[in-house]
Amino acid sequence: MIIYLYFIMFIMLISMIIFNLNKFLSMMKKINLEKKIPFECGFNPISKFMLPFSMPFFLISLLFLIFDIEITLLIPMIFYLKYMNFYYMINTILLFMLMMLITLILEWMMGYLYWMF
């Protein structure tokens, strides 16, 4: 057990040495700060930290992800129709679709599907 501990410590030491070796061996240059900043199509990323974020867009994208995952869970059930009891599988698929429909109706009633509030 102690051999493993020494081995892990040795690996961590070697990785830290390799990681910091670049700082000691590289030439110390004064690099212009403007060259280090990434260019974002004319947008200065340092100037504004709090950009306005569209909450309706976030909600619709979140709903898309949730329904996308539900659909990906539904598709393999079709392939299991020949391996499982037909009525059991149909009931499972119908229950799953009913839950998705109820969720969609609930989100529509709460107003999450509107693009602008």
The C-alpha atoms of residue 89 and residue 40 are separated, in whole angstroms, by 50
Output the domain CATH number for residue 54: 1.20.58.1610
Note whether residue 117 is domain-resident: no
Position 30 pLDDT exceeds 90: no
Q: Angle at Cα 68 formed by Cα 65 and Cα 70, nearest 5°? A: 110
pTM of the model: 0.48
- Give the tens place of pLDDT for each residue, 34-70: 666 666 666 655 655 666 777 778 888 888 898 888 8
The number of folded domains in the chain is: 1
Note whether residue 34 is domain-resident: yes
Question: Reduced to 3 states, what is the DSSP secondary structure of residue 111?
Answer: coil
Structural domain range at position 17 = 1-110
pLDDT of 23 reads 74
Note whether residue 9 is domain-resident: yes
Note whether residue 61 is domain-resident: yes
